[in-house]
């Protein structure tokens, strides 16, 4: 793998993958929106070439350089307000197909798509790549459709399709409205942090580890198909919250809601197929990841504790 193309290059996963590629001497063509406010996440490096292109222009985009692997992270409408908008996510399915056709024009032999655990919907037990999908949101439905139609188009074009279903990734570049960022803000301000009952099983994967996973999926000769992308650390969500509290100190206060019988999303992924395919084990514990976030916050004048 000498050169890769990455859409959504300013996303948390895109930035993590770019850094991993640089560390391994792999050239990157980073595709980012023209108006992206996160362009500073793309490292200034001789191995990285930035191409500005919005999703609705992927179909017309021409790249002079050839590449080996095409990573598609770009996806519109991921905010809470747009997550269940059918037309927004229908467009994302078409953008995925546009990305595959661009990969073909650039000579890529592998397409790696970023699906989601939302494709599975609500499951009470262990989630395998073969687990029946039953998405309940427009986002999850469209991710599943993009994966299935993308695999069919890849087959027609002679490209290997690797479709990932990403669980819960966290890190320095995480969104400000995530549970972790919320908790750190509350704890740093000396205010109680309020949570659900947090009895469901959960899984957190550090962003740098996620970047390494995606690098290896392109670099290794893995079988095409579906891979769950997660860590090996699955436990009740409340355990993660209490670990956050311990890291942030005695002044941190948690308030949990009373458990109910209402079904909730549970993340208990099986990643044995991923481990077997790329020979990977996570490098970062949850505690180390949180300490990295806190350290980054300090260096950016954002004090969490």
Domain ranges of the chain: 3-169+204-229, 176-202+233-267+285-299
Residue 195 backbone dihedrals phi, psi, to 5 degrees: -135, 165
Question: What mean pLDDT do residues 251-276 have?
Answer: 92
DSSP state of 269: B
What is the model's pTM?
0.94
- Give dist(CA 59, CA 96) in Å, integer: 10
Q: What's the pLDDT score for residue 265?
A: 84
Q: Which residues contact 13 (CB under 8 A, 6 or more apart)?
A: 73, 114, 166, 169, 207, 210, 211, 214
Q: What is the dihedral of CA 183, 188, 190, 192, to 10 degrees?
A: 0
Q: Is pLDDT above 90 for 206?
A: yes
Q: Which residues contact 242 (CB under 8 A, 6 or more apart)?
A: 254
Architecture of domain 3-169+204-229: 3-Layer(aba) Sandwich (3.40)
Mean pLDDT of the chain: 93
Q: How confident is the model at residue 251 (pLDDT cuts 50, 70, 90)?
A: confident
Report H helices in the chain.
12-23, 86-105, 138-157, 179-188, 207-219, 237-248, 272-278, 286-299
CATH number of 176-202+233-267+285-299: 3.90.25.10
- Give residue for tokens 């598609």: 72
Q: What's the pLDDT score for residue 300?
A: 41
């Amino acid at each position: 793998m000498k050169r890769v193309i990455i859409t959504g290059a300013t996303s948390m996963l895109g930035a993590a993958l770019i850094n991993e590629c640089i560390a391994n001497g792999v050239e990157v063509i980073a595709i980012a929106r023209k108006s992206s406010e996160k362009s500073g996440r793309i490292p200034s490096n001789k191995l990285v070439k930035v191409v500005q292109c919005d999703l609705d222009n992927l179909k017309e985009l021409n790249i002079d350089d050839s590449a080996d692997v095409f990573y598609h992270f770009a996806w519109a409408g991921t905010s809470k307000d747009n997550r269940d908008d059918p037309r927004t996510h229908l467009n994302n399915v078409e953008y995925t197909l546009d990305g595959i056709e661009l990969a073909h024009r650039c000579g890529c032999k592998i397409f790696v798509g970023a699906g989601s655990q939302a494709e599975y919907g609500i499951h009470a037990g262990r989630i395998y790549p073969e687990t029946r999908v039953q998405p309940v949101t427009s986002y999850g439905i469209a991710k599943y459709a993009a994966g299935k139609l993308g695999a069919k188009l890849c087959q027609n074009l002679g490209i290997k399709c690797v479709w990932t279903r990403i669980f819960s990734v966290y890190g320095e570049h995480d969104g400000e409205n995530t549970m972790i960022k919320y908790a750190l803000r509350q704890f740093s301000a000396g205010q109680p942090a309020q949570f659900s009952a947090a009895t469901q099983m959960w899984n957190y994967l550090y962003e740098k580890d996620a970047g390494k996973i995606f690098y290896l999926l392109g670099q290794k000769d893995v079988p095409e198909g579906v891979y769950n992308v997660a860590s090996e650390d699955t436990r009740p969500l409340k355990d993660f919250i209490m670990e956050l509290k311990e890291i942030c100190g005695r002044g941190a206060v948690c308030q949990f809601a009373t458990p109910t019988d209402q079904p909730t999303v549970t993340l208990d992924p099986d990643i044995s197929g991923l481990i077997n395919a790329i020979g990977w084990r996570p490098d970062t514990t949850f505690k180390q990841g949180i300490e990295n976030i806190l350290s980054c916050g300090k260096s950016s004048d954002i004090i969490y504790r």
